[in-house]
Structure 1
């Protein structure tokens, strides 16, 4: 029998009186005054929330989970404002931890988080060679679309580098498919080790109120998550993404979006079919209608006819399509494909959208799967590389007003796996002490929370018993408090995945209605 939780004195709306909430059999069984305790069962646990606010559990709709788990253990080079600064961070790390770095030439040193879109100097192989010598070094960009390698790393990954310009032009920069190929090699960590790192990352996510993720790792994710659940990892629901290179296998196995994954304990389901058709803003490969300052317009990595063919096969097999489109030209091509297909789906990112295309999301039933924190990370690079176009960049209010469905994510590790960052960015359009960036695109907190909880706006009977209790009123908290929202309790299917030490959790010994016992523990009999 599933665990039964009785949550005492919870506020389910701003200014609401506290009520009790019963979680039983994996759903919200009842919400109301203390008589709801009549539904408690032997062995139930009672948790006193003491007036805390109880919300539907939060989802991250776009995560690269293994990359996120790996990035938490890599050198952080996100603070570098120049190529020289990034190389200096590598040298400093080696100076401090050199003895701990594996000397074997097939174990590269990996850093993560550089953003070169505003760097005044050029990355080079020589620069990293001076910092690391003969040790292979790979730096992964924050957007995952670019890698920077030194000579030893270029040699180590010779087959993946192939004819990439970065292998011959002295920069050591790999972009898009060449970068993804090396990234795949970097993820070749023993299963037991990467699964432990993933479990740690999942526990950290639960501590921020996360109950589920859409994992868009470039891998056969159904197998990976089946293995993790079998190993005892049960703190998240997971929708497992599929990529075109695995489409034949998915169709042959009859996988359909929304179906449970065998061995997933009811927590793992088949997610969307994801296809990338352009690059990213920071790498200047997002496909745009107008040029970047250097005269390029980005990359269209999948032609429209090929895109439509893949989407038709996916939809015909029961898979919901999710198209990665960042530039405005890519978004138009994706919307055109959905229109020709006659079926809805998702566009991942939708960072730059032509005004005429905004109403098409709702009209075509296409969800805008967006990452509000990216606007905070990329506001300066957007001002430079999309100058004159930023009024239609990272749109939220315009899409919402046009009737589109928003689904918030982080794209972790591009941004941290923390939905409260997305909510705060969507509501305030700023971070820290900076003025709001295009504040006309801010949305109300209720809509931001709904976009982070699959449209659920409050706790209702019959909903999944995936809830989060927080210490402050999220509907009235200012943006800095939203961003750092203290989370006291998270449950998935009624089972606590995070419980703050100060909360009491105890078995229910006695419940009464109108003075008559409705449950009496044996030890009280």
Structure 2
């Protein structure tokens, strides 16, 4: 690989300008600017250089196809959602195998619940399936339900076990051109992203190497596996960390187990019941998607096969139960989301050797829903500060498409607990900026480290909230090659 010298940049500490010499995919030297150079010289003109960013939790195929679905993000009622679909139909909205698919509704604060009859009346001749913003539920009419063999009740909503198992039917990954994946990967690179952890419920260990071979080369990918493909992965001899493609961009990831639901769908497994009534009231304290005995069996089987675990746990009871299983088995792992945690459980993350993989944008999206459905408990909701102060290791992600695949959004929300014109929500749970940056990277700006770098126009440590959120990225390098360049 050709050498490259990034001349006249600055580290985030804002000290004197430096030259960063890259060679053979690693950082070969860092020295005061003006010294010997190697290979091509790129003048950074005082811009700031840092480690490339990772998004620790994405559903990549869902993110790719979200732009092809009817946008329901701004809807505030069933009537709003129906109106949005009608407008899309009037403009010849694209369909998925003949089905009108919308994405992004959040009914946690709707005063009127969804209704099967309302969708049937509005769209008597169309199959309609609307995917909730958290991906944990679908609202559909009778024709839509029939297309996918689902049986909703009078609300038209199917959630959790039945829904999650059907969600991939709406993905149609095989029909999405590889160029669409490349475009989305390139867009992530333009935001300084060098890698993602993909938790899509598809055969990632086969699909991602094929994409890399077809030219999707802007990102590193950890390709997870779900329980229904665990035995296949083990039979293939795949172990966490194994390189799966010829260039070393794709590695075998972790076993993803989903043990409960979500806040917006009111299915996160909690110690206390959800208030009121509605389409999810029958869940009471939430849903235990995978029984504890089955979780234990899956983790043991994964360990036998050399595959590390990552367990989705949102509600406080889910977190308690999952931590206890990890403690019992004496194995480290990742808890994905950790949105509501009992005070006595924060320290147990450290004792059990658990990483908390969290999504700060969710706190901004769901703060009002949490104030209603987790009333009296929000001091320990999305409690990134408490996790950090307990000593727990953190990773930041987006859960795209639930939030945009943009680590600068996560960093800004994690460090300020605010967005737009709203005051900080539980500001005691803010993260220090250095912690948020470390939780969004996998390397350091140091000799011998991978040449996965981002070059930005502003020093993050001298940036206000919205300056962080919209950080201008001048360049991104992956293994010493540019995946985005505006310098």
Number of the residue aligned with 1:507: none
| Cα deviation, residue 182, structure 1 | 3.0
Runs of 5+ consecutive residues of structure 1 not aligned to the other structure? 504-525
Number of the residue aligned with 1:514: none
1:371 pairs, out of 344, 356, 359, with: 359
| Cα deviation, residue 127, structure 1 | 2.1
2:87 pairs, out of 92, 98, 117, with: 92
| Cα deviation, residue 151, structure 1 | 2.1
Number of the residue aligned with 1:11: 10
Contact 2:69 2:94 in 1 (8 A): no
Summarize the Cα distance change of 1:408–1:101 in structure 2 as closer, same or farther, 3 Å threshold. closer
Number of the residue aligned with 1:30: 29
Contact 2:16 2:32 in 1 (8 A): no
If you compute each CA radius of gyration, which structure gives the higher value, 1 or 2? 1
Q: Confirm or deny that 1:178 pairs with 2:173.
A: no
Deviations 1:252-308 (A, max 9, x none): 1111111111x3420100111110100000000000001110371001111111111
Number of the residue aligned with 1:407: 395
Alignment of 1:218-237 (within 5 A): 218-237=201-220
Summarize the Cα distance change of 1:88–1:382 in structure 2 as closer, same or farther, 3 Å threshold. same
2:53 pairs, out of 58, 61, 71, with: 58
Contact 2:222 2:250 in 1 (8 A): yes
Q: Confirm or deny that 1:250 pairs with 2:249.
A: no
Give the SS at the match of 1:190. helix
Number of the residue aligned with 1:293: 275
**TM (normalized to structure 1)?**
0.89
Q: Tell me how far apart the structure 2 counterparts of residues 268 and 446 of structure 1 sit (CA, whole Å).
A: 28
**TM (normalized to structure 2)?**
0.96
| Cα deviation, residue 5, structure 1 | 1.9
Number of the residue aligned with 1:150: 141
Number of the residue aligned with 1:68: 63
2:338 pairs, out of 333, 340, 350, with: 350
Contact 2:134 2:262 in 1 (8 A): yes
| Cα deviation, residue 36, structure 1 | 5.3
Number of the residue aligned with 1:493: 479
Deviations 1:423-471 (A, max 9, x none): 00111001001010000000111111111003x4x41011110000101
Q: Confirm or deny that 1:271 pairs with 2:253.
A: yes
| Cα deviation, residue 101, structure 1 | 4.3
Q: Tell me how far apart the structure 1 counterparts of residues 295 and 165 of structure 2 sit (CA, whole Å).
A: 21
Runs of 5+ consecutive residues of structure 2 not aligned to the other structure? none
Provide the aligned C-alpha RMSD in A: 1.4
Number of the residue aligned with 1:511: none
Q: Tell me how far apart the structure 2 counterparts of residues 101 and 229 of structure 1 sit (CA, whole Å).
A: 27
Q: Confirm or deny that 1:47 pairs with 2:29.
A: no
Contact 1:90 1:132 in 2 (8 A): no
Q: Tell me how far apart the structure 2 counterparts of residues 441 and 238 of structure 1 sit (CA, whole Å).
A: 30
- My pick for the range that moved more, 368-377 or 10-19, is 10-19
Deviations 1:134-165 (A, max 9, x none): 1211111110000111222112112xx1xx4x
Number of the residue aligned with 1:437: 425
Give the SS at the match of 2:85. helix
Q: Tell me how far apart the structure 2 counterparts of residues 422 and 350 of structure 1 sit (CA, whole Å).
A: 15
Number of the residue aligned with 2:124: 133
Q: Tell me how far apart the structure 1 counterparts of residues 43 and 347 of structure 2 sit (CA, whole Å).
A: 45
Q: Tell me how far apart the structure 1 counterparts of residues 317 and 98 of structure 2 sit (CA, whole Å).
A: 40
